[in-house]
Amino acid sequence: MTAPARAPIRLDEWRSQHRAGNPHKILKDAELEEFVNDALSSMSFDAIHRACVERFGAARAPSKSSIHRYWCEFFRPARPEQHRRKRSRKPRAPVVNLGGLDAKGKNQS
């Protein structure tokens, strides 16, 4: 699961790719990225977070949700397109005038 080593991404590079928001904290730190990439194959997101806090300190460590978003963007297996099924509507019965009664059974007078 190890990705090729690369230089940390800078904000101007991120913007030049027309990407919204800020780059992942993991992408900004090459040493952290290498550690997380290696750990993703054998550890849970929570365990990776705890190991990062221990190894890099709380300021550099990404959160569990940040690790999950990183995994979703770069490592999650591609899923086939999920099409939303349209609900089939049953045809409604035609409204029939029942001798002076409306559809709710009340007199129309």
CA-CA distance, 73 to 5, in Å (whole number)? 17
pLDDT given at position 77: 73
C-beta separation of 53 from 61 below 8 A: yes
The maximal CA–CA distance of the chain, rounded, in angstroms, is: 83
Within a 10 A sphere around the Cβ of 64, how many other Cβ atoms? 16
Copy the structure tokens of residue 91. Answer: 């045809």
Q: Return the domain boundaries, the chain.
A: 11-74
pLDDT given at position 76: 79
Q: What is the pLDDT along the chain (109 residues), one digit of tens a residue?
A: 555 456 666 666 766 776 666 677 888 888 999 999 999 989 999 999 999 999 999 999 999 999 998 888 888 776 666 555 556 666 666 666 656 666 666 766 5
DSSP 105: S
Query: In this structure, what are the phi and psi dihedrals at residue 54, rounded to the nearest 5 degrees?
Result: -65, -40
